[in-house]
Chain A
Amino acid sequence: MELAKQEYLSLYETMLRIRGFEERSRELMLEGRLCGFLHLYSGEEAVAAGVCSELSDEDCICSTHRGHGHIIAKGGSIPKMMAELFGKDTGYSQGKSGSMHIADMDIGIVGANGIVGACIPIANGVAFALRYKNKDAVSVAFFGDGATNRGTFHEALNLAAAWKLPTVFVCENNGFGMSTPPSRATNNKYLSERATAYNIPGITVDGNDPVAVKRAMAVAAARAKKGDGPTLLECVTWRHHGHYIGDPALYKDPELQKKWLAPEVDPIPRFEKRLLSEGHASEAELEEIRGRVHAEIEAAVAFAADSPEPPPDSMYENVYSE
């Protein structure tokens, strides 16, 4: 699979937009302008960018508490998401969801989820609905390494395999289930080995390489659409920050942290270097993208800051549907 120039640039722009959104949110939180829990996706951008570059609006994703990156990569609105983080009336859920429950049903974002591992079997429900309605589309479950130890993961892989559902299970092995590394939580070297138990393909890819992720996702999506069933795709990456803003992550090995944040490993500078050295982009083109993304995020912050608070009585709305 050869990528066109525009595909390379698009992957880059998506990763940059995610990093920009996350780091700007972090600043806002540290300035006291945001509240609640923010679980930052910085460092894992290549996974969301690679996976979602293979999806259309018909395809669906179910996301996690660390979901901003998935939502951005799937085409979610930056201003609406920022306004939701601010708890404003113009946010995705008018301030009812905050960071952890953002959804955009019009473009297949069925929702982020604050309960670890909960979205995995829900993605099967979405996949079932896609099949029921004869859609040529897939359902993606994003989840971390920690979630692979929940029963929901096993129930979901089993059902998707048994029913050959068009689900792609994307495990973001970011090194930590909150503070606990997979090496202390499982006896598997690769989490993708667990696919063997369900007789489905399981592969481990470099989760800091958006092209590697994209290629693996293309294979998994094609298989799912053909009716051959699910794939477990483990993307090995690294969570740059703590579990949430406020977690100093003292449990991290400083040497490993240093290694993963080095420019040759961090997915964004690493990809920049590749784009330049392989001739997919010029420095001027990258600079243009950086400027555009920066302006977009600042505009979103301004929009969110200037938006009104939700009216108090809106608390009572949408508890039930009509």
Chain B
Amino acid sequence: MAVMTYVDAIRDAQRQEMLRDPDVFVAGEDVALMGSSFGQTAGLYDEFGPMRVLDTPISEGQIVSLGVGAAAMGLRPVLSLDFCDFLGCCFDEILNQAAKMTYMLNGQTSMPLVIRANLGGEINAAAQHSQCLEALFTHLPGLKVVASSGPRLAKGLLSQAIRDNNPVMVFEHKGLNGMKEEVPDGEYAVPFGKAEIMRGGGDVTLVSWSKMAHKCVNAANELAGSVDAEVIDLVSLYPLDMDTILGSVEKTGRIVIAHEAVETGGFGAEIAARLADEGFDYLDAPVKRVGAPFTPVPFAAALERNYQPNEARIVEAVRSLFA
């Protein structure tokens, strides 16, 4: 085990999987000579050369299509799309091509494709560089969707995504780039579909993913003494570990789902609907959601401070369940 940053863990996952499988290659804007905007692919070009680490033109549709064509032929592309906001430039390629190819071809080929993109705000990057768009991709059969909350999971999930035979949207959070944590050495993959309990508790369940999971832990610590909160990091949105959520709510009877994305139509809505269907009898209080308001992400620090869902709002939501 070595302590490494989130960015280094992402780089290490790609390196380990490239060493493991010669069919893995990395492509995207600025991944080779620059090593990506935050260094997530630094050094890979020097180690693996120009055939396996490729700077592409700023052509997002072509980047994803490069992956779709190459994956159909049996390669394992790892594509860097940088900010998730840019996924709008290649939405057809994700939703109509990557997600549906295996189905339309009835399994004649698989689509082992990884699309990496970063979520999140709080760096004053305004409306087109700060969004959390993960929910859009959970609506598309054929895709898997994962989001890491720290270096260990960043490495484990990305490695797993590269080994998976399906297109996987791997969402990282730029606000976690400097976070350090112990990460297993060498090859390390974390299976999808298994949520992690970050903090045990018996009074209320806090469900989250990505960076917001840490705010839930902070909120739980703040509540400690009066309310004993359990914090669940979903880790993967599809496949979704509903069992862990239901198991926790059966115990606590109360739940707050917190995410950085806009609350309306966010993935919290899906969890709430599933709870209403599958966990209604466990609930002693309404299902609460904490998310961003229905506006684009504002620029000014004074505005974004109030925009971003925070510990205070999570605490307030929890308290309202006990009022």
Contacts and interface: CB of A to CB of B under 8 A. Distances in A.
B105 interface: yes
Contact of A96 (B51, B65, B106): B106
B289 to A, nearest CB: 28
A196 interface: no
Interface residues of A, number: 44
A93 B104 contact: yes
Contact of B61 (A152, A317, A318, A322): A152
Nearest to A162: B57
A98 B170 CA distance: 31
B70 A128 contact: yes
Interface in B107-130: 107-112
Interface string A112-128: 01110010111111111
Contact of A101 (B65, B66, B104, B111): B104
Interface residues of B, number: 40
A36 interface: no
B105 A111 contact: yes
A321 B107 contact: yes
Contacts of B73: 60, 110, 125-126, 129-130, 133
Contact of B103 (A124, A156, A318): A318
Contacts of B195: none
A125 B92 contact: no
A105 B65 contact: no
Contacts, number: 136
Nearest to B105: A103
A118 B75 contact: no
Given A115-B97, A125-B67, A101 B105 contact: yes
B142 interface: yes
B141 A125 contact: no
A62 B69 contact: yes
Contacts of B59: 121, 155, 158-159
Contacts of B103: 96, 318-319
B92 A118 contact: yes
B101 interface: yes
Interface of A: 60, 62, 92-94, 96-97, 101, 103-105, 110-111, 113-115, 118, 120-130, 132-133, 139, 151-152, 155-156, 158-159, 162, 317-322
27 contacts: A93-B106, A93-B108, A94-B106, A97-B104, A103-B105, A105-B105, A105-B108, A121-B69, A122-B65, A122-B69, A124-B66, A125-B66, A125-B67, A125-B70, A126-B70, A128-B69, A129-B73, A129-B74, A132-B75, A139-B69, A159-B62, A318-B103, A319-B102, A319-B103, A319-B142, A320-B165, A321-B166
